[in-house]
């Protein structure tokens, strides 16, 4: 049901007013073709949803009577899975209104969208179990819903399924002069209605018609696709009249065969091939549930904070006319501080990695000089401290290769950090080169053992206290 902008200004103008001296209109929750739904506060500070009939609809005595009667019908079912009507009255300007319980949670359409357009088979079966339990009671009291679909099924935060908009199709019979486009959702929703309802054979629309809609709802929740895909509502209506529903396995071959058989029977084109009643279908649902992995214990509860962004759809939910109250979306969390923290941690790790790599390169440069027992290491002294050039005679001695003994003890690994060398030792090593044996002895007694380079003093992670 698409919003009607012509009613929006009048609805906004009513905000802040009080109806019957007890219900203050706080916010417009939705505007439909029959009524406007407001978030209201009672004079005792309790909150609810109030549905106020449009002035032009209130001029029709039949529509007016049926509007109030629908509220009584919902209460007559006396099932916790039906939205309760807690008050009804006439406004000061003569418009009837219904006050319904305030729901917190999400529709099954929203829930499926939040989970990637489909739900696990175990969860869908559990939801169908609750829905059919409501329909058993409703059908026994001769109440037929006629517009069951994911957007008319509401899952509360406690995991209770609530059926919205009971008997909304009855309003269609009171306004037969309107065209199908204008009252499309009053007739039902083409993607979920059975062939007899699509043909407007109202004398044939009964409890089995609701079971067809249950099957279409399960089909969509399981696959993320409509039973009849089309560009327009008129084309969907034509397909509903002439085309049988596709087999569930043809859309998703991964589903359990018992689940496919259940849904296919509910979607049978001819009523005689469908389940005889809601009790028979519920029995089969519970049998199949034994064969399918159950949903997680917390999977049937609604998200604690926020909902998905609203989608634009050809079919606005008729649930706004039954008092469904959308939950305000929680503000989006700012991800900027988290991003900055990650970037700083990465930068710190990169700096530490570069320092370790630099120390390792210096150690590699030092290693061949030590293994050759060269008494003077220009690259090392360049790091430790600049040294004066040796005398010519000494330079000749340095250029001669040292005599290696026949058997030499292996040298201990040199220290990778050259700054650790004593600053006064370098001149002595240049002016009086030690023998290879003395070099080995000095290395074994004075050089620190090879180890990982010490971390810089400022290398601690600034976020270590947070993580």
Count of CA atoms in the C-beta half-sphere (13 A) of 185: 21
Distances (CA, A) of 456 to 347, 418, 453: 15, 15, 9
Residue carrying the six token digits 């064969």:
291
**CA 173 to CA 451: how far, in whole Å?**
89
**CA 153 to CA 143: how far, in whole Å?**
17
Do the bridges between strand 35-42 and strand 47-53 make them parallel or antiparallel, or are there none, so unpaired? antiparallel
- Identify whether 206 is a catalytic site residue: no
Contact between 306 and 330 (Cβ < 8 Å): yes
Extract the tokens encoding 447: 């050089």
Residue 467: partners with Cβ closer than 8 Å, 6 or more residues away: 461
**CA 160 to CA 112: how far, in whole Å?**
16
**CA 413 to CA 363: how far, in whole Å?**
10
Contact between 50 and 19 (Cβ < 8 Å): yes
Handedness of CA 126, 144, 277, 246 (dihedral sign): negative
Count of CA atoms in the C-beta half-sphere (13 A) of 317: 27
User: Helix, strand, or coil here: 25?
Assistant: strand
- Of the listed 110, 147, 151, 277, which one is catalytic? 147
Residue carrying the six token digits 């053992």:
449
Contact between 288 and 255 (Cβ < 8 Å): no
Count of CA atoms in the C-beta half-sphere (13 A) of 235: 7
Handedness of CA 288, 290, 296, 298 (dihedral sign): positive
Q: Residue 90 forms beta bridges with which residues?
A: 96
Handedness of CA 93, 95, 96, 97 (dihedral sign): negative
Residue 409: partners with Cβ closer than 8 Å, 6 or more residues away: 440
Name the residues annotated as catalytic: 147
């Amino acid at each position: 049901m698409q919003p009607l902008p012509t009613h929006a200004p009048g609805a906004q103008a009513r905000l802040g007013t009080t109806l019957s001296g007890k219900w203050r209109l706080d916010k417009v929750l939705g505007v439909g073709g029959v009524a406007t739904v407001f978030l209201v506060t009672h004079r005792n500070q309790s909150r609810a949803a109030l549905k106020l009939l449009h002035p032009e609809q209130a001029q029709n005595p039949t529509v007016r009577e049926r509007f109030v009667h629908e509220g009584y019908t919902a209460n007559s079912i006396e099932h916790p899975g039906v939205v309760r009507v807690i008050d009804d009255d006439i406004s000061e300007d003569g418009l009837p209104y219904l006050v319904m319980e305030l729901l917190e949670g999400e529709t099954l359409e929203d829930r499926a969208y939040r989970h990637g357009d489909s739900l696990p088979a175990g969860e869908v079966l559990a939801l169908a179990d609750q829905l059919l339990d409501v329909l058993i009671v409703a059908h026994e009291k001769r109440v037929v819903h006629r517009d069951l679909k994911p957007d008319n099924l509401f899952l509360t935060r406690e995991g209770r399924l609530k059926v919205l908009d009971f008997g909304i199709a009855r309003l269609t019979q009171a306004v037969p002069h309107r065209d199908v486009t204008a009252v499309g959702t009053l007739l039902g929703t083409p993607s979920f209605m059975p062939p007899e309802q699509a043909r407007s054979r109202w004398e044939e629309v009964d409890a089995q018609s609701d079971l067809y809609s249950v099957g279409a709802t399960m089909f969509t929740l399981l696959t993320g696709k409509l039973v009849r895909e089309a560009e327009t509502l008129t084309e969907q209506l034509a397909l509903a009249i002439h085309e049988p529903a596709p087999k569930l396995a043809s859309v998703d071959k991964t589903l359990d065969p018992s689940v496919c058989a259940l849904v296919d029977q509910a979607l049978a084109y001819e009523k005689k091939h469908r389940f005889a009643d809601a009790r028979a279908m519920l029995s089969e649902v519970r049998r199949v549930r034994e064969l399918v992995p159950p949903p997680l214990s917390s999977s049937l509860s609604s998200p604690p904070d926020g909902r998905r962004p609203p989608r634009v759809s050809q079919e606005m939910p008729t649930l706004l006319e039954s008092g469904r109250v959308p939950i305000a979306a929680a503000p989006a969390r700012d991800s900027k501080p988290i991003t900055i923290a990650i970037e700083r941690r990465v930068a710190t790790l990169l700096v530490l990695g570069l320092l370790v790599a630099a120390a390792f390169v210096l150690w590699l440069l030092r290693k061949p000089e030590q293994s050759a027992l060269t008494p003077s290491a220009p690259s090392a002294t360049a790091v430790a401290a600049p040294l004066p050039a040796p005398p010519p005679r000494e330079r000749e001695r340095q250029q001669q290769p040292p005599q290696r003994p026949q058997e030499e003890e292996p040298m201990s690994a040199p220290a990778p950090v050259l700054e650790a060398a004593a600053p006064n030792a370098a001149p002595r090593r240049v002016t009086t080169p030690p023998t290879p044996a003395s070099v080995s002895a000095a290395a074994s007694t004075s050089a620190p053992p090879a180890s990982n380079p010490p971390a810089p003093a400022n290398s601690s992670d600034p976020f270590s206290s947070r993580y």
